[in-house]
């Protein structure tokens, strides 16, 4: 665990330094306020989706893991074997749109792959040892990270990504902490890159992303109720 924290701290420090370096080249960023605003909304929305997925994954596992002794294959784990990592990936992508030039997204994807591929394999090998054939059948049925979109389309949000379970662990603190941190980073970026500091505009972008997130969640929940009737 200490080694993992050390690695993550090193990567985080590198990303902070890289972000500061990128600020020296304003031409790298989107030209014009319109595209900057579009990327900001996408970034905030991606952050919230990533945080919510992490919340649901940890909360569902807490409820259904039988105190850590059972293999959880329901909820978000019905669609991907590592929803926590997918949540982290979406969270990171959101920050790329907020504070990096959007075309550097492949760099983040490469860094994410280098950092977490080995970690995921180690954890899955451990699960293979614990649950043997049960886990082997599960891996053949469910993808490692990115869900099958056709199967995901048939997902039931109330069953697979339940709102109540999302608030059962400390992961819920991320729902306010990560967006606020992104909000602050975006204000700094605007001042350094574009020379202005429009808090009201950034707040409007953030609220728009929140509204889109809430509407989509509400629509899918209503869709689930219609299916049940």
70 vs 208, higher pLDDT = 208
Confidence band for 101, pLDDT divided at 50, 70 and 90:
confident
Return the half-sphere exposure (C-beta side, CA atoms, 13 A cut-off) of residue 209: 24
Domain ranges of the chain: 33-228
CA 190 vs CA 103, 107, 116, 118: distances in Å: 18, 22, 31, 36
pLDDT, tens digit, for every residue of 165-200? 999 999 999 898 899 988 988 888 888 877 777 888
0.75 exceeded by the pTM? yes
Orientation of helix 33-64 relative to helix 83-99, angle to 10°: 160
Question: How confident is the model over 18-67, as pLDDT tens digits?
Answer: 777 888 788 887 666 788 888 999 999 999 999 999 999 999 998 887 65
DSSP, res 153: H
Q: Mean pLDDT score of the chain, rounded to an integer?
A: 84
DSSP labels, 158-188:
HHHS-TTGGGSSGGGGHHHHHHHHHHHHHHH
Residue 224, pLDDT score: 65
Residue 166 CA: distances (Å) to CA of 8, 125, 149, 155? 25, 27, 22, 17
pLDDT at 83: 94
Q: What letter would DSSP give residue 87?
A: H
Q: How many residues does the chain have?
A: 229
């Amino acid at each position: 665990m200490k080694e993992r924290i050390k690695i993550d701290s090193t990567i985080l420090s590198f990303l902070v330094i890289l972000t500061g370096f990128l600020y020296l080249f304003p031409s790298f960023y989107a030209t014009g306020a319109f595209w900057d605003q579009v990327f900001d909304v996408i970034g905030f929305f991606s952050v919230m989706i990533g945080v919510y997925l992490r919340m649901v994954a940890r909360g569902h596992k807490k409820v259904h893991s039988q105190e850590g002794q059972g293999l959880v294959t329901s909820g978000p784990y019905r669609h991907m074997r590592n929803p926590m990592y997918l949540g982290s990936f979406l969270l990171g992508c959101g920050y790329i749109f907020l504070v990096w030039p959007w075309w550097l997204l492949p760099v983040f994807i490469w860094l994410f792959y280098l950092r977490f591929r080995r970690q995921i394999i180690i954890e899955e090998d451990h699960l293979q040892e614990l649950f043997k054939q049960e886990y082997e059948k599960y891996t053949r049925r469910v993808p490692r990270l990115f869900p099958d979109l056709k199967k995901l389309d048939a997902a039931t949000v109330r069953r697979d990504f339940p709102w109540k379970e999302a608030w059962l662990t400390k992961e819920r603190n991320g729902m306010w902490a990560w967006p606020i941190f992104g909000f602050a980073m975006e204000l700094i970026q605007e001042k350094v890159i574009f020379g202005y500091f429009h808090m009201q505009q950034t707040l409007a972008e953030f609220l728009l992303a929140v509204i889109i997130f809430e509407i989509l969640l509400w629509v899918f929940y209503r869709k689930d109720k219609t299916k049940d009737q």
